[in-house]
Structure 1
Amino acid sequence: MTIQTPPPFVATPDDRVSFHRTELGPILTLYGRMVAAGEWRDYGISALRDMAVFSVFRRTAENPLYRIEKRPKLRLKQGQYAVVSMDGQILKRGNDLAAVLRVLERKLIRPVD
């Protein structure tokens, strides 16, 4: 009878893309302002294999109004952050998250009647 040693434990890195705390700060600040204005009501965060998504909802049971996406593979091409509307149109894309989120801040500014 031979004694076999078990193979060494190899930890596989978590291969999902997610938002970092420094990225979630500006996103949640904008979300809080939009909730206070009555525009948004709910959100969802998805960490997928090739991208992370922060989805914003007006009501819980409907499709997201906007998606804030992080795709690190596009970092050197078009920019890793993007704001996508409900119909799939890319509103803004770039590597600076604050600049990309400004397109949604403009929606908060409305003329007063």
Structure 2
Amino acid sequence: MPEFINPFSGMVPERTMTKEELVRAIRLDIAGELEAIHGYMAHADATDNPLAKAVLVDIADEERVHFGELIRLLSILTGDEDEQLRKGTLEVDAMAASLAQKPPQAAGETTIGSLKN
């Protein structure tokens, strides 16, 4: 949450960040962009004013661009971020393929999903 009342909030110490500190700062910036996207989209979803909705969605899309810029910067700084993201993509793709090949659930079989009803 912003600390606008604190005039020293967000000020950088009187030294240059190490590479490790910069990587952590960029990760925090990424989290901030995701939080902003969520907030703008929630506000857009909560209004029936067409202009407000369009402006909020446009701003959320701009934040998504910022997110992409920060992810790319993080990849350059860490040297292995792309590889880690690729591994995550492959894991999800494998799970999706596995689920697509499963036979349909037998009638009367109890599953977590069937217990929800």
TMscore range, shorter length: under 0.3
Which of the pair has the greater relative contact order for Cα pairs under 8 Å at 6+ separation?
A: 2
Normalising by the residue count of structure 2, what TM-score does the alignment of the two structures yield? 0.21
Normalising by the residue count of structure 1, what TM-score does the alignment of the two structures yield? 0.21
